[in-house]
Amino acid sequence: MADDLTFSTIAQLADRLAARDISARELTQATIDHTSAVENKVKAFNSLNPEDALAQADASDARRAVGQALGPLDGVPISLKDVIAVKDQPLTAGSKMLENYVSPYDATVASKLKQDGAVLWGRTNLDEFAMGSSTENSAFATTRNPYDLERVPGGSSGGSAAALAAGQSIATLGSDTGGSIRQPAAFCNVVGLKPTYGLVSRFGLAAFASSLDQIGPFARTVEDAAIMLGAIAGHDPRDSTSYKTDIPGYRAALAEKKGPWKLGIPKEYFGDGLDPEVGAAIETAIAFYRDQGCEVREVSLPHTEHCLSVYYIIATAEASSNLARYDGVRYTHRSADAKDVLDVYYKSREEGFGPEVKRRVILGTYVLSSGYYDAYYLRAQKVRTLIRQDFLNAYESVDAILTPTSPTPAFKAGEKADPLSMYLSDIYTIGVNLAGLPGISVPAGFSSAGLPIGLQLIGQPYQEADLLAIAHAYDSAHDWSAQRPSL
Whether 306 is in a domain gets the answer no
Whether 274 is in a domain gets the answer no
The residues assigned a catalytic role are 81, 156, 180
Alpha-carbon distance of 172 to 165, in angstroms, equals: 10
Whether 194 is in a domain gets the answer yes
The alpha carbon of 445 is separated from its chain's Cα centroid by a whole number of angstroms, namely 20
Alpha-carbon distance of 136 to 127, in angstroms, equals: 6
Residue 11: what pLDDT?
Answer: 98
**Contact predicate 400/281, CB 8 Å:** no
Q: H/E element holding 77?
A: strand 77-81
**Contact predicate 67/61, CB 8 Å:** no
What is this structure's pTM? 0.97
Q: Is 250 left (phi over 0), alpha (psi -120 to 50) or beta?
A: alpha
**Contact predicate 46/84, CB 8 Å:** no
Alpha-carbon distance of 380 to 32, in angstroms, equals: 46
Residue 2: what pLDDT?
Answer: 62
Position 170, amino acid: I
Q: What is the DSSP letter of 129?
A: G
Alpha-carbon distance of 23 to 57, in angstroms, equals: 8
Query: Which CATH number goes with the domain that contains 193?
Result: 3.90.1300.10
Domain count, the chain: 1
Whether 418 is in a domain gets the answer yes
Whether 60 is in a domain gets the answer yes
In the predicted model, residues of the chain with pLDDT beneath 70 are 1-3
Whether 287 is in a domain gets the answer no
Instruction: Please state, as a whole number, how many other Cβ atoms lie within 10 Å of the Cβ of residue 36.
Output: 12
Alpha-carbon distance of 90 to 456, in angstroms, equals: 33
Alpha-carbon distance of 430 to 424, in angstroms, equals: 10
Alpha-helical regions (H) of 43-128: 50-65, 108-115
CA triple 347-105-179, angle to 5 deg: 70
Residue 72: what pLDDT?
Answer: 97
| Residue numbers of the domain that contains 437 | 2-263+397-482
Which long-range contacts (C-beta less than 8 Å, at least 24 apart) are formed by 47-51?
A: 47/82, 47/89, 47/90, 47/92, 47/122, 47/123, 48/121, 48/122, 48/123, 49/89, 49/122
Q: Characterize the bridge pairing of strands 400-404 and 262-266.
A: parallel
DSSP-assigned states of every residue in 156-216: SSHHHHHHHHTTS-SEEEEE-SSSTTHHHHHHHTSEEEEPPTTTB--TTBPPS-TTT--EE
User: For 314-351, how does the pLDDT look when each residue is reduced to its tens digit (9 = 90+)?
Assistant: 999 999 999 999 999 988 999 999 999 999 999 999 99
Q: Which of 12, 46, 41 is nearest to 27 (CA)?
A: 12
The alpha carbon of 336 is separated from its chain's Cα centroid by a whole number of angstroms, namely 35
Whether 428 is in a domain gets the answer yes
Q: What share of the chain is helix, strand, coil (3-state, %, to 5)?
A: 45, 15, 40
Residue 318: what pLDDT?
Answer: 97
3-state DSSP assignment of residue 122: strand
Alpha-carbon distance of 448 to 148, in angstroms, equals: 13
Residue 124: what pLDDT?
Answer: 98
3-state DSSP assignment of residue 382: helix
Whether 288 is in a domain gets the answer no
